[in-house]
Structure 1
Amino acid sequence: MDVRRREFLALTGLAASAVALGGCATPGAAAAPDGSLRAAFGQPVTDLDPYNAGTAVDEASLIVKRLVFDTLVRYEGGRLAPGLATSWRRTDDTTWVFDLRPGVRFHDGSPLTARDVVACVERTKAVKSAQTALWATVKSARADGDHRVTFVTDGPMGTLPVNLTLLFIVPARRVADPAQKRRPVGSGPFRVTGFTPSTNVELARFDGYWGGPAGLPGISMPFIAETSSAITALRNGDVDLLWPVPSDQLREVRGRRGVRVQTVPSWTYYLTWFNCGRKPFTDPRVRRAMWQALDMEEIVGKLFGAGAEQMRAPIPSTVFGHAEQAPYQHDPGAARAALRAAGLGDGFETTMMWFDATGPLARELAQSMISAWARIGVKVRPQSIEKAQWLQRLNSLDWDMELQTNTVTTGDAAFTLGRLYTSKANRMGYRNPGLDAVLAEAGQAAEPERREELYGRACKTIWDDAVGIFPAALTTAYGLRTGLTGFTPAANNQPDLSTVRRNP
């Protein structure tokens, strides 16, 4: 590690954190090689195991996993493209066949075969996580030789290729290995050389990668908790890439010497879920009243400006399956009347949890909503907590309301609507058999027009039932040093950093 890098880590507190968390650091950890890309994302990486229940769809972890592991199918330019699978086809309503790329090797030198894929499918199905609903219809997977995998589904499943963009492949013998949390083995363009949870990830180029060597010798990913410190590091050249840059701080980046900004309408959005299984949010009248209390146009406009758009559905407008809905009108009088009708004329007290690093201006967004709710007699106690605690409480339904950003990682409504809002998933205590039927049919349909129609119906149900409040879809701003080439901003906040290079 060069002197400048050591100084930077010390200044941002990362070196101190690494010492403090020494018991969690990877034994024998090594920094990324000299000349590596220094990339800072706005959330900490807490775990690298692709089958960890708590981080199965965690955005920060997915960024690293896409660099370390491969998937059968991946996105390129917003379209599904071959990954480890060179081709795939549905031979009948319940059977899919995927032909694998020959000659692929894992970081430890062992060959990747169909048996590894089958083991990963079985592990994914066995671990109950936020991905579970995506794989419920997969009945079995079998290896037909070394380079062919056949999936059998319990009924038609048109979303299998999309879902496979989230199935990370590791050696079969390592699917349940605890070492995968800290020093995982994959077949991606980079291998892990060091990892301290919530502090930094160090990657080195894997020269045996089937797709050819990455553009830079490695990637170093420090977590810098304070956005202002991260922006200073970018402007000083201590980091090469920073995202997302909050809209209210873009002026600190745009036009600065040696720095440029690239933006993309993202698949990332803010949501506030109600725990619909916990009173008083079991009553949809209460949930709608909470939404009517908010002047969402003013809140989103003042906080985010051009950095976000007010949502008109429970998924962003750039996502397949979006169907625009009529916005809830700001009407505090109607909100108070609805609370009286629900037997809460004197208001009530409740809580809302979030973690600050969930997204730009999270605390400010929370405070704006809490202030508006106070004006209709609802006292909301704020609970700003650490990400690991937030994840644990979220997954165990130990909350009244929660605020978070969510990313439709695949760009398809199946990932969010089909995964989160079924009764079986029970992600927010909401149960609606009619919605279950619509989402099940949408997951089975192969025709895009039919899928779009069904997800449109699901959008309306979720919106009308006020399962949550959906304030804003974000525009992601990436700040990068002008010497970088080959970078493409990603709508899902998970850019392919293997293509990045430096000007000589």
Structure 2
Amino acid sequence: MPRTRHLLTAGALTMGAALTLTGCFAGEGTSAQASSNRVSLAMLAAPMANLSPYSEDAFKLSRWSAAETLTVLDDNGEAQPLLATEWKKDGDLKWVLTLREGVKFHDGTPLTAESVVTSLNKALNASPKLRVLTGLEVKFEATGDREVTITTGTPDPLMMNRLTSPQLSILSAAAYLPDGTVTPVGTGTGPFKIVTTNGSSSAALDRFEDYWGEKAKLSGIDVSYVPDGAARAAALRTGTADIVEALPVSQVSLLPQDLVNEVPMPRTSTLYLNNEKGAFADPALRAAARAAIDRASIVQNVYEGRADESKGLLGPALKWAAEIRGDVDSIARPAAPAGQKITLATYTARPELPEAAVLLEQQLEAAGFVVEQDVREYANMEKDMMAGVFDMVLLSRATVQDTGDPATYLTSDYSCKGSFNISQVCDPEIDAVISAASASELGEKRREAIMAAEALILKKDAALPVLHERVLLGKAKTVSNLVLDPRERGLITAETTKE
């Protein structure tokens, strides 16, 4: 483990990072200098699309509590009320929702069925198509002052879950500009209102005094985007930032441990094996690779114990998965690799992955494989990865996506027509169990069907999960009541306080 490199990097950067950030947070908001009851937040990534909800920026809006959706996910990944207070099914294709009363947008206009339908239709017609609505035939209608009816072309058990996606945040009419862009600045419904943005540098939010629920206890949030992990850690250490997201594992040991918070996240680092061609078209060699991996060594030496060894594709962030997981032992017997050459690819955006790949190479070669690594920037490897150029790909992958339901991930990654089928797997038996899971109604039966699909994928060694990542969040002692959300949709809420 190259601990010395980590210490040298931190030592070299800490002083400069602290100096750089000293002026980043004070005075960003409209009332930052007038009130100390604001929190400063250092985030990993700057906005990709000017905070458009039709991009990954949508998750910033939800983490700031600036924009809200019709429904929200509970711990089991099932929809609960938010801007919609209740809903009922009308046959197999229709849902009727009742909207919350007394909700105002940040620009003062009221939430109505018409405004909700306008917002949903804008999202439906967005280009490129939003993942959460891809392949869905759907119609949104205002059927009363506070009633919205949703009709789908085919039965869709995930419809209410889809509405939890931050990309389907409900915004006022003013959000939709004549040039086709969408802005959440002053157009959301959350307890905090975006008042200023400064490109890839910063943003500021003030408490929304006309919020429909309990008013925020904080007076505002000052956000800075700090892509350098050592700089984010330095901001927490020096008190420049009250909250720091995505602390690098290499920095955590250098911080006071009472400032570090961690929670399992639904993200698994997995070795995707090429099931179609090359060495791993042979189930016995896939089994041999599985037997060679020492997960505990990778968790301890690369992640410094701040990750969880995988027992399956779905990790401890989904508590129900472990409770109903059955036998996942390989069907095939391992064969001797006997010098079989394989390529192991990974990417640089997540610094732990290349380090993990080094240990995996050593473990696989000890078992008899001959390994050639290919480490690139993600953008330079994605095309080859999807085309099946590599024998193995080590990838960090979210296992619950826009709907909060893992069946979507299983379909995209392990079905014949999957849109992210790196393993090039096309197995009628696997397709059948994934289809059964996808068609099941939400609840216990769907969870059991999902675990049956996971079990078959693992028994056939279509992919080898290595570890489950954790959310590593820095928080000053003065800050309370943050949401430690495994899905990274929530963070600061109306209940968050600062002493």
Query: The TM-score by the shorter chain falls in which range?
Result: 0.7 to 0.9
- Cα deviation 1:370-420 (Å, max 9, x = unaligned): 4445662121211145xxx47986998797435224263665423533555
Q: CA RMSD in A?
A: 4.0
- Letter aligned with residue 171 of structure 2: V
SS at match of 2:407: helix
- Letter aligned with residue 364 of structure 1: E
CA contact (8 A) 2:22 2:240 kept: no
1:13-28 correspondence to structure 2 within 5 Å: none
- Letter aligned with residue 202 of structure 1: A
1:450 Cα shift? 1.8
- Letter aligned with residue 11 of structure 1: T
Q: Does the C-alpha gap of structure 1 residues 148 and 435 become closer, same or farther in structure 2, counting only changes over 3 Å?
A: farther
Query: In structure 2, what is the Cα distance between the partners aligned to 1:120 and 1:424?
Result: 31
* Pairing 1:488–2:483 present: yes
* Pairing 1:377–2:376 present: no
CA contact (8 A) 2:17 2:230 kept: no
1:190-201 correspondence to structure 2 within 5 Å: 190-195=192-197, 199-201=201-203
* Pairing 1:297–2:289 present: no
Indicate the residue corresponding to 1:355 in structure 2: 349
* Pairing 1:51–2:44 present: no
CA contact (8 A) 2:214 2:494 kept: no
Indicate the residue corresponding to 2:69 in structure 1: 71
* Pairing 1:106–2:98 present: no
Q: Does the C-alpha gap of structure 1 residues 224 and 132 become closer, same or farther in structure 2, counting only changes over 3 Å?
A: closer
* Pairing 1:428–2:431 present: no
Q: Does the C-alpha gap of structure 1 residues 154 and 105 become closer, same or farther in structure 2, counting only changes over 3 Å?
A: same
CA contact (8 A) 2:29 2:204 kept: yes
1:314-329 correspondence to structure 2 within 5 Å: 314-319=313-318, 320=320, 323=325, 326=328
Instruction: Give % identity.
Output: 23
Pairing partner for 2:238 from 236, 239, 244:
236
Indicate the residue corresponding to 2:170 in structure 1: 169
* Pairing 1:404–2:396 present: yes
Query: In structure 1, what is the Cα distance between the partners aligned to 2:44 and 2:330?
Result: 31
1:97 Cα shift? 1.2
TM-score in terms of structure 2 length = 0.77
Structure 2: unaligned runs, 5 residues or longer:
1-15
Pairing partner for 2:410 from 396, 417, 427:
417
Larger deviation, residues 460-469 vs 395-404: 395-404
TM-score in terms of structure 1 length = 0.76
1:4-403 correspondence to structure 2 within 5 Å: 11-12=20-21, 31=29, 33-34=31-32, 35=36, 36-47=38-49, 48-52=51-55, 55=56, 61-66=58-63, 67-75=65-73, 80-127=79-126, 132=131, 136-166=135-165, 167-171=168-172, 174=175, 178-180=180-182, 183=185, 185-195=187-197, 199-246=201-248, 249-255=251-257, 260-273=259-272, 280=278, 283=281, 285=283, 290-319=289-318, 320=320, 323=325, 326=328, 334=335, 336-337=337-338, 347-349=341-343, 351-356=345-350, 361-373=352-364, 376-384=369-377, 389=379, 400=390, 401=393, 403=395
- Cα deviation 1:243-295 (Å, max 9, x = unaligned): 3445554443345xxx5343333333323445767x54883646555544432
Larger deviation, residues 208-217 vs 131-140: 131-140
Q: Does the C-alpha gap of structure 1 residues 253 and 318 become closer, same or farther in structure 2, counting only changes over 3 Å?
A: same
- Letter aligned with residue 473 of structure 1: H
Query: In structure 2, what is the Cα distance between the partners aligned to 1:499 and 1:390?
Result: 42
Query: In structure 2, what is the Cα distance between the partners aligned to 1:172 and 1:466?
Result: 50
Query: In structure 1, what is the Cα distance between the partners aligned to 2:361 and 2:223?
Result: 34
* Pairing 1:448–2:443 present: yes
CA contact (8 A) 1:242 1:479 kept: yes
CA contact (8 A) 2:191 2:494 kept: no
1:427 Cα shift? 1.2
Larger deviation, residues 86-95 vs 423-432: 423-432
CA contact (8 A) 2:346 2:374 kept: yes
- Cα deviation 1:33-58 (Å, max 9, x = unaligned): 41431123445542322223xx3xxx
Larger deviation, residues 390-399 vs 153-162: 390-399
Indicate the residue corresponding to 2:434 in structure 1: 439
1:219 Cα shift? 1.9
Query: In structure 2, what is the Cα distance between the partners aligned to 1:276 and 1:168?
Result: 39
Q: Does the C-alpha gap of structure 1 residues 124 and 503 become closer, same or farther in structure 2, counting only changes over 3 Å?
A: closer
CA contact (8 A) 2:59 2:489 kept: yes
Larger deviation, residues 139-148 vs 361-370: 361-370
- Letter aligned with residue 365 of structure 1: A
Indicate the residue corresponding to 2:13 in structure 1: none
1:87 Cα shift? 0.6
Query: In structure 2, what is the Cα distance between the partners aligned to 1:100 and 1:478?
Result: 34
Query: In structure 2, what is the Cα distance between the partners aligned to 1:390 and 1:109?
Result: 46
SS at match of 1:471: strand
Query: In structure 2, what is the Cα distance between the partners aligned to 1:433 and 1:127?
Result: 34
Query: In structure 2, what is the Cα distance between the partners aligned to 1:161 and 1:116?
Result: 18
Q: How many pairs were matched up?
A: 460
Larger deviation, residues 162-171 vs 110-119: 110-119
CA contact (8 A) 2:170 2:188 kept: yes
Query: In structure 1, what is the Cα distance between the partners aligned to 2:381 and 2:186?
Result: 22
- Letter aligned with residue 245 of structure 2: W
1:425 Cα shift? 4.2
- Cα deviation 1:116-141 (Å, max 9, x = unaligned): 43344444444577963665355322
- Cα deviation 1:336-366 (Å, max 9, x = unaligned): 25xxxxxxx6514464224137xxx344223
Structure 1: unaligned runs, 5 residues or longer:
1-6, 16-28, 338-344
Query: In structure 2, what is the Cα distance between the partners aligned to 1:218 and 1:475?
Result: 28
